[in-house]
């Protein structure tokens, strides 16, 4: 259920590291817990975030939750499509990236969970 090419946090974010960039989103487990997503607030391009730091918020019909960065880095891009269509996170959670980072400490990814370990905590 959880793609093997992603790394996961205990806070239910995922990161896909590819070609020196890190795409970040939330997991299927997280979107199911939240319910229908109605709004996502994302940071400005150029902002620097540290691993575990809040980079935005996600609002559903049930609650507002903080989004935590799985790795440290500079925000290179935000997914502007999510402003108009936040529900995309409900239908394609592992494809709907929120931000893209240039990781400043790529070794941090080694502290994250693989798909098998994440599956164990997302029950």
Domain positions in the chain are 7-121
pLDDT class for 1, splitting at 50, 70, 90?
confident
CATH of domain 7-121: 2.40.50.100
**Pair of tokens at residue 27:** 């997991």
Task: Identify the burial level of 11 via C-beta atoms within 10 angstroms of its C-beta, where 0-12 means exposed, 13-18 middle and 19 or more buried.
Answer: middle
Residue 36 has pLDDT above 90, yes or no: yes
Write out the DSSP string of 67-102: EE-SS-EEEEEE-THHHH-TTHHHH-TTT---EEEE
Quote the radius of gyration of the chain (alpha carbons, Å): 13
Residue pair 114/4 in contact by the 8 Å Cβ criterion: yes
* pTM, entire model: 0.96
The predicted-structure confidence for 9-19, as pLDDT tens digits, reads as follows 999 999 999 99
Residue 123 has pLDDT above 90, yes or no: no
The predicted-structure confidence for 90-108, as pLDDT tens digits, reads as follows 999 999 999 999 999 989 9
């Amino acid at each position: 259920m959880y793609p093997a090419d992603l790394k996961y946090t205990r806070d239910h974010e995922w990161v896909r590291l590819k070609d020196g960039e890190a795409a970040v989103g939330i997991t299927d487990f997280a979107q199911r817990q939240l319910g229908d997503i109605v709004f996502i607030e994302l940071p400005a391009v150029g902002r620097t975030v540290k691993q575990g730091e809040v980079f935005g918020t996600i609002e559903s019909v049930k609650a507002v939750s903080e989004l935590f960065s799985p790795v440290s880095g500079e925000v290179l891009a935000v997914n502007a499509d999510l402003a108009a269509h936040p529900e995309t996170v409900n239908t394609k959670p592992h494809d709907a990236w929120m931000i893209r980072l240039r990781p400043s400490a790529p070794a941090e990814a080694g502290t994250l969970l693989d798909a098998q370990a994440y599956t164990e905590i997302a029950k």
